[in-house]
Amino acid sequence: MAGRCCSMTHSPGLVTRGQIALQVKELGVSPGDTVMLHASVGSIGWIAGGPSEVLGGVLDAIGADGTLMMYVGWEGSPYDLLVNAPQVPPAILALWPPYDPATSRAMHAWSILTEYLRTWPGARRSQHPDSSFAAVGRLADELTRDHPLQYGMSESSPLAKLCQHNGKVLLLGAPLSSLTLLHHAEHLADVPNKRIVRYKAPILRDENKAWIDIEEFDTTECLPWRKPIDMFEAIARQYLQEGHGVVGRVGAATSYLFDAAELTQFAVDWIEEQFLEPPKEVSEAQVRIADDRDHRELADLYAAMEEERTGTPVSSSRLSTRIDELLEDRDRQVLIAETSEQLVGMLVARVESAQRGVLEYAFVDSGYRRHGILRELEIEASTYLREQGCSAVGFELDADNQVAREAWTALGYTPSRESWERPL
Ligand SMILES: CC(C)(COP(=O)(O)OP(=O)(O)OC[C@H]1O[C@@H](n2cnc3c(N)ncnc32)[C@H](O)[C@@H]1OP(=O)(O)O)[C@@H](O)C(=O)NCCC(=O)NCCS
């Protein structure tokens, strides 16, 4: 048996409670912290002692004065049946069991840990049936108490209290799209046309079932967001690009730590900028990984880049071999942006070492600049490099390329080392 699946060299490998506590601390969690957790246990690894040891590790990191909270919901909710329904079918009214914060099961789909935390000794759980939060630790009662049944992500919700108590949000292998905190930002953002839902929910009141009317902003799609990337992920990626938050690893999982109040304010500003101001000119270009079929157009784009750089015309057929090398290199990902008619941008991400990635061949067709294409390409490139285990990314830049300096600065890059020369 030994070495079959528990070897540390096999990803995702065996992960212990102590290792989780240590790595969570390395991310920036400190004793006494108030932490909201999102976790994908499977992506952390094979947890020695089972999934509850993930909670144990985080609790060890925050210590006796800390507080750990999760968004746990209610596994048995009739929400999907009743949301915006004109009326509740009589059979449902009669038969559906009520939500009881003390016993109703947590949403398994949000993480196996929701139910573990809800049933953790000393856990408190909020009274909202669908936006239910559970917490353990010093502020557990404070965070979960008096959760309003109307607008469950509002100024008096557990999320608002998390911000007031300088809380942090910890993602262990959970995607950026799962940041529940951003529902609070959606609630706070002062923009028109937020979608509202109304539904009835059965809750236990004085030992009896009561059907209550709930109204709140739609957590499925509060605002009309039409881009392929998830809106919460777009917000979080830009937040990271601008140098906020911490990215690292816990076990095998890409993990993030954010300051809750700061991220909320960033997201409110972001949402207000997106949905209040006249829409920015946004490109129609889609970003994807290049393959052999893009060879000819990539060579044309590369030739245009060389021509702009050197000031002399370059024949794309001369660059064909280089394109082959780029597409075949297993340590590179060639990303392209295309409209329905043509390729308009490219960026190559290369794994330079175990820790560091490099960006190369950044180019956007001159007719498509300032439409956010480099930003979209960079998001894909940095995601790829992070998945390869890189913790930093850089590139070489000609000192006199002012446009590129401005663009990369806007994307969160700063100069790190200089290369000096003189003509001979
Ligand atoms: C540099 C280059 C790739 C930028 O591509 P782009 O698609 O126009 O960039 P984006 O539209 O995604 O802009 C990204 C950010 O940079 C900013 N930016 C882009 N061009 C800028 C400029 N000329 N001046 C100031 N800011 C600029 C944008 O405002 C944006 O920030 P924002 O979203 O906060 O507004 C493009 O100008 C280019 O291809 N230049 C020639 C090749 C080159 O120099 N490559 C760089 C080699 S390192």
Same domain, 200 and 331: no
- Residue 280 maps to a domain: no
Same domain, 234 and 322: no
The one-letter amino acid at 311? G
Q: What is the pLDDT of residue 3?
A: 37
Band of the pLDDT at 245, cuts 50, 70, 90? very high
Residue whose Cα lies nearest atom 42 of ligand 1: it is 363
Q: Domain containing 356 — which CATH number?
A: 3.40.630.30
Give the domain-ending residue among 275, 310, 334. Answer: 275
Q: Is 373 close to ligand 1, i.e. is its CB under 6 Å away? A: yes
Band of the pLDDT at 1, cuts 50, 70, 90? very low
- 369 Cα nearest atom in ligand 1: 8
Band of the pLDDT at 311, cuts 50, 70, 90? confident
Q: Is 280 close to ligand 1, i.e. is its CB under 6 Å away? A: no
Q: Is 364 close to ligand 1, i.e. is its CB under 6 Å away? A: yes
Task: Tell which residue, 48, 96, 106, 101, has the closest CA to residue 73.
Answer: 106
- Residue 308 maps to a domain: yes
Q: What is the mean pLDDT of the chain?
A: 92
Same domain, 365 and 391: yes
Q: What is the mean pLDDT of residues 247-259?
A: 96
Q: Is 370 close to ligand 1, i.e. is its CB under 6 Å away? A: yes
Q: What is the mean pLDDT of residues 345-359?
A: 95
Please list the helix, strand and coil fractions of the chain in percent, rounded to the nearest 5, in that order: 35, 20, 40
Question: By residue range, what is the domain housing residue 148?
Answer: 4-275
Band of the pLDDT at 373, cuts 50, 70, 90? very high
Total structural domains within the chain = 2
pLDDT tens figures, 218-233? 998 999 887 778 999 9
Same domain, 61 and 189: yes
- 404 Cα nearest atom in ligand 1: 1
Q: What is the mean pLDDT of residues 116-140?
A: 98
Q: Is 407 close to ligand 1, i.e. is its CB under 6 Å away? A: yes
- Residue 79 maps to a domain: yes
Helix (H) or strand (E) holding 22: helix 17-27
Length of the chain: 424
- Residue 389 maps to a domain: yes
Same domain, 71 and 11: yes
Please state at what angle helix 231-241 crosses helix 260-276, rounded to 10 degrees.
Answer: 110
Q: What is the pLDDT of residue 281?
A: 53
Q: Is 362 close to ligand 1, i.e. is its CB under 6 Å away? A: yes
Same domain, 53 and 145: yes
Give the domain-ending residue among 275, 294, 318. Answer: 275
Q: Is 310 close to ligand 1, i.e. is its CB under 6 Å away? A: no
Q: Is 359 close to ligand 1, i.e. is its CB under 6 Å away? A: no
Same domain, 270 and 293: no
What pTM was computed for the model?
0.65
pLDDT tens figures, 292-308? 999 999 999 999 999 99
- Residue 109 maps to a domain: yes
pLDDT at 10 over 60: no
Residue whose Cα lies nearest atom 10 of ligand 1: it is 372
- Residue 281 maps to a domain: no
Contacts of 173 (CB under 8 A, 6+ apart): 39, 40, 41, 42, 43, 44, 250, 251, 252, 253, 254, 255
Residue whose Cα lies nearest atom 1 of ligand 1: it is 404
Q: Is 404 close to ligand 1, i.e. is its CB under 6 Å away? A: yes
Give the domain-ending residue among 247, 275, 303. Answer: 275
Mutate to test the pocket of ligand 1, among 378, 403, 405, 408 (most ligand atoms within 8 A of CB): 403
Same domain, 102 and 17: yes
Q: What is the pLDDT of residue 5?
A: 41
pLDDT at 61 over 90: yes
- Residue 356 maps to a domain: yes
Same domain, 139 and 248: yes
Distance 369 CA to ligand 1 centre (A): 7
Same domain, 409 and 302: yes
Same domain, 296 and 403: yes
Q: Is 374 close to ligand 1, i.e. is its CB under 6 Å away? A: yes
Band of the pLDDT at 2, cuts 50, 70, 90? very low
Same domain, 294 and 254: no
Q: Is 83 exposed, middle or buried (0-12, 13-18, 19+ CB in 10 A)?
A: middle
- Residue 362 maps to a domain: yes
Q: Is 237 close to ligand 1, i.e. is its CB under 6 Å away? A: no
Residue 51 and residue 112 in contact, taking contact as beta carbons nearer than 8 Å: yes
